[in-house]
A and B are shown apart, each in its own frame.
Chain A
Amino acid sequence: MSGADNPAVEAGWASPPARKGFFTDTSVCIGCKACEVACKEWNGVPESGLEFLGLSYDNTGSLGADTWRHVAFIEQSRPIRRHDADAGGSPTGSLGVDTPPESDGDAGFFGEAGDFRWLMSSDVCKHCTSAACLDVCPTGSLFRTEFGTVVVQEDICNGCGYCVPACPFGVIDRRRGEKGVTKNAGLAQKCTLCYDRLGEGMEPACAKACPTQSIQFGDLDLLRERATERVADLQRAGVDGARLYGHDPNDGIGGAGAFFLLLDEPEVYGLPPDPVVTTRALPAMWRGAAFAAGSLILGAVVAFIGSSS
């Protein structure tokens, strides 16, 4: 399938398969981190530090060269209404005990049941339609696959690191370590949406391992439809703050290949609220640079014309 929305066509693939992606429905994430483990195992991603971060149950911290799936944990103390807990059998809400909506939350060892919610979300590379990392890559190492995903070719990347500050989500990073000791040390590394598995008609390791179908893999078109239904269901059930993130092809990155259903503002999960691909402003930047170059020539000419020898 090759709609106008398919970046694989724009990248020159003659008749690519349907664009693939992830729909991560955080309302059913239980924070088991099976996705993190499966990703590391399948892709041979090195250990990313065994540290105690003290951030709820998150000891991973963030996405990076050695973390391609990252489960965020946010503990929120706020009045939860009864129907939040029941919506769609969501395990993220309270214990399902009926509590007064305005309970204060400082009573007893467990607090009052229902005044606490735990947000969990498995973050991943967004595989943007307009991908800044791919745009700025000076070697052509980052490329658009036939599945519409964005992948680093490890035999081409020279570790210039330009993709790292270009990414509006802070996903990609240069792998630290010693060449010959650490695999792909010095190279830009990130989620490949399991390019190797996709080629064999398999689903990515994280989606395969997810026990609650919080991570759903498939044709992006279908995932978007499913997500629209799901968020409507949740909103109808009164779930506070249910919204989609990265699903809109008209957003600043042309829509994400990996998008999310969130239960709060994106920044609560460490996601940028309104990301815009930096290269959108590039034509104007080149014009500015041309003017600056012109003014430099002018300065040099004036410097000599006005000077007596």
Chain B
Amino acid sequence: MSSDPIRESAATPGSRTGSSGRRQRGGERKMVPDATFTSYYGRPVVKASPWGPDIPAYLFLGGVAAGSSLLAAGADLTKRIVLRRTTRLGALVAISGSFVALVHDLGRPERFLNMLRVAKTTSPMSVGTWILSGYGPAASLAGVAELVSLLPLHHRERAVGRVLAALGRPAGMTAALLAPALASYTAVLLSDTATPSWHEARRELPFVFAGSAAAASGGLGMIGSPLSQASPARRMAIFGVLLEMIAEWRMEDSMGIAAEPLHQGRAERYLRAQKALSVVAVVATIIGGRRSRLVSILSGIALLSASALVRFGIFEAGQASARDPKYTVVPQRERADEARSTT
């Protein structure tokens, strides 16, 4: 209040003003009313993760790898050789990249193996480590088997080559078995924190990430295989975008005040671009995906980009939500007041 200069300056940006905005009556009402709240000089209550772009990149690449392994398994069983090659090699590259990103983001990369000291279901990162420990070698082996098949005949005929080629299918199937867990656990990784916009997204985020993985891998399959073999990739992409967009829409609706950071700053730009690219890619795929190689390739690029953008958007929104005490204090204050009034 203006009669209280010290308090106001002490509690910017949201000093307590006696009556809370959410209880104000009359006038125009926004979707989420301006909340007045008290904070310690506007400083954050929780800490934003110390993670850099490595982590959203890891989320994206892990999703690409997971979806690709599923497509590769199907392509293997239905004898779509080029689709299988594209997706197995894609999974190999993506999982290698995601591994590098993951290790690079550690404060002490040389201690990466300490992750294998324990297995804890209370830690999504520990669970993820063990999923990766199974998936990584399997997907890599399947990828290497695919590389061997590209070698000149006399190399392929060597014992090592023959063993690797024979391992392609079991390795690929193992990877496909673990892939869905790889695609969805990363949502729990983010949500199992005190970061408001990640924690409040916990109900729908696994579906957003699973859909994003399907869309991205479908896009990869469309880029790297002929039209005659890419039909499953197109369907995977359309399915993925639908799942992702519906989940995202419901998510933004259910997050309360913590949805705000999704519509601000960098997160907003990323997520807008993601939605636009996804819609354009799906429409193009439906209309021209069966007939035009060029349309397929361009749609595939758009789908991969959209998948990366949704990870970066949600990552940035979470970081922003942790830096602003509003998103921590306001919902907790409401909860505390409710508890107090019922007792």
Select which of B50, B106, B183, B209 is within 8 A of A158 by beta carbon. B106
Q: Nearest chain-B residue to A294 (Cβ)? A: B180
Contact of A185 among B107, B199, B210 (CB under 8 A): B107
Are A75 and B10 CB-contacts (below 8 A) given A156-B114, A162-B125? yes
Q: Using A136-B124, A295-B243 as known contacts, say yes or no to A270 and B39 having CB atoms under 8 A apart.
A: yes
In the bound complex, CA of A55 to CA of B11 (Å):
10
A101 at the interface (CB under 8 A from B): no
Chain A 275-309 per-residue mask, 1 if CB under 8 angstroms from chain B, else 0: 10011011011101111111111011111101111
**A173-B47 contact, Cβ under 8 Å, with A77-B4, A304-B78:** yes
Q: Report the separation of the CA atoms of residues A70 and B232 in the bound assembly, to the nearest whole angstrom.
A: 58
Chain B residues whose CB sits within 8 angstroms of the CB of A76 once the complex forms: 6-7, 10
* Interface contact B50-A278, CB-CB below 8 Å: no
Is there contact, CB below 8 Å, between B329 and A307? no
- Tell me the nearest residue of chain B to A287, going by C-beta: B206
Residue of B with least CB distance to A300: B70
Q: Does A227 contact B (CB under 8 A)?
A: no
Interface mask (A150-169 → B, CB under 8 Å = 1, otherwise 0): 00000011111110111111
Known: A275-B332, A295-B210, A295-B243. A167 touches B46 (CB 8 A): yes
B210 and A293 within 8 A (CB): yes
B239 interfacial contact with A, CB 8 Å: yes
**In the assembled complex, A56 has its CB within 8 A of some CB on chain B:** yes
Asked whether, in the complex, the Cβ of A158 is within 8 Å of the Cβ of B107, the reply is: yes
A300:B184 contact, CB within 8 angstroms:
no
Cβ of B333 and Cβ of A273 under 8 Å apart? Answer: yes
B213 within 8 Å of A (CB atoms):
yes
User: Are B335 and A170 neighbours in the complex by a CB distance under 8 Å?
Assistant: no
Count A-side interface residues using an 8 Å CB cutoff.
83
> CB-CB < 8 A to A174: which residues of B?
50, 107
Q: In the complex, what distance in Å separates the CA atom of A141 from the CA atom of B222? A: 44
Contacts of B117 in A (CB 8 A): 139-140, 156
A269 interfacial contact with B, CB 8 Å: yes
- Of B112, B114, B115, B183, which is in contact with the most chain A CB atoms at under 10 Å from its CB? B114
CA distance A7 to B202 in the complex (A): 27
Beta-carbon nearest neighbor of A281 in chain B? B202
Question: Contacts A270-B40, A292-B206, A307-B231 known; A159 to B49 CB distance under 8 Å?
Answer: no
Residues of A within 8 A of B108 (CB): 157-159, 179, 186-187
Confirm or deny: B195 has a beta carbon within 8 angstroms of a beta carbon on chain A. yes
B112 in complex: contacting residue of A58, A158, A273, A293, CB < 8 Å: A158
Secondary structure class of chain B's binding surface, majority of residues: helix
Do residues A161 and B39 form an inter-chain contact, with CB atoms below 8 A? no
Docked CA distance A76–B207 (Å): 47
A167 contacts across to B, CB distance below 8 A: 46-47, 194
Q: Answer yes or no: A274 CB below 8 A from chain B CBs.
A: yes
Residues on A with beta carbons closer than 8 Å to the beta carbon of B50: 161, 164, 173-174
Select one of A140, A158, A269 contacting B111, CB under 8 A. A158
A222: interface (CB < 8 Å): no
Instruction: Please encode chain A, from 235 to 259, with 1 for each CB lying within 8 Å of some chain B CB and 0 for all others.
Output: 0000000000000000000000000
CB within 8 Å for A164 and B47 given contacts A273-B329, A292-B187, A296-B214: yes
Across the interface, which residues of A come within 8 angstroms of B49, CB to CB?
161-162, 164-165
> Does B263 touch A at the CB level, under 8 Å?
no
The answer to whether A135 touches B46, judged by C-beta atoms less than 8 angstroms apart, is no
Select which of A55, A159, A267 is within 8 A of B37 by beta carbon. Answer: A267
- The yes or no answer to B99 lying at the interface (CB within 8 A) is no
- Asked if A292 and B10 sit within 8 Å, CB to CB, the answer is no
Docked-complex contact B107 and A159, CB < 8 angstroms: yes
Determine whether A137 belongs to the interface, using a CB cutoff of 8 Å to chain B. Answer: yes
Q: Which of B291-343 contact A (CB under 8 A)?
A: 318, 322, 325, 328-329, 332-333, 335-336, 339
Which chain B residue has the least Cβ–Cβ distance from A301?
B74
Residue in A159, A179, A279 whose beta carbon sits within 8 Å of that of B192 in the complex: A279
A272 close to chain B: CB less than 8 A: yes
A160, B210: Cβ atoms under 8 Å?
no
A136 x B46 contact (CB < 8 A):
no
A265 in the interface, Cβ–Cβ < 8 Å? yes
Question: Is B48 interfacial (CB-CB < 8 Å)?
Answer: yes
Contacts of B336 in A (CB 8 A): 273-274
Q: Does A191 contact B (CB under 8 A)?
A: no
A61 at interface by CB-CB < 8 Å: yes
Look across to chain B and name the residue whose beta carbon is closest to the beta carbon of A161: B50
Check if B46 sits within 8 Å of A272, measured CB to CB. yes
A97 contacts the other chain (CB 8 A): no
Whether A168 lies near B46 (C-beta < 8 A) is: yes
Cα–Cα distance between A105 and B40 once the two chains are bound (Å): 22
CA of A167 to CA of B328 in the docked complex: distance in angstroms?
Answer: 12
Q: A116: which B residues are within 8 A, CB to CB?
A: 6
Residues of B at the A interface (CB closer than 8 Å) are 3-7, 10-11, 37-41, 43-51, 66-67, 70-71, 73-74, 77-80, 105-109, 111-112, 114-115, 117-118, 120-126, 129, 179-181, 183-185, 187-188, 191-195, 198-199, 202-203, 205-207, 209-210, 213-214, 218, 229, 231-233, 235-236, 239-240, 243, 318, 322, 325, 328-329, 332-333, 335-336, 339
A to B CB contacts below 8 Å, 25 in the list: A55-B41, A62-B44, A64-B47, A132-B194, A141-B114, A156-B114, A158-B107, A158-B108, A159-B107, A164-B47, A165-B322, A170-B47, A173-B47, A174-B107, A186-B106, A270-B43, A275-B332, A288-B188, A293-B181, A294-B180, A296-B179, A303-B233, A304-B77, A304-B232, A309-B229
The 5 closest A-B pairs by CB, nearest first: A159-B107, A186-B107, A270-B40, A292-B206, A293-B180
Extra contacts, 4 of them, besides A157-B107, A165-B47 (Cβ < 8 A), are A174-B107, A265-B38, A285-B191, A288-B203
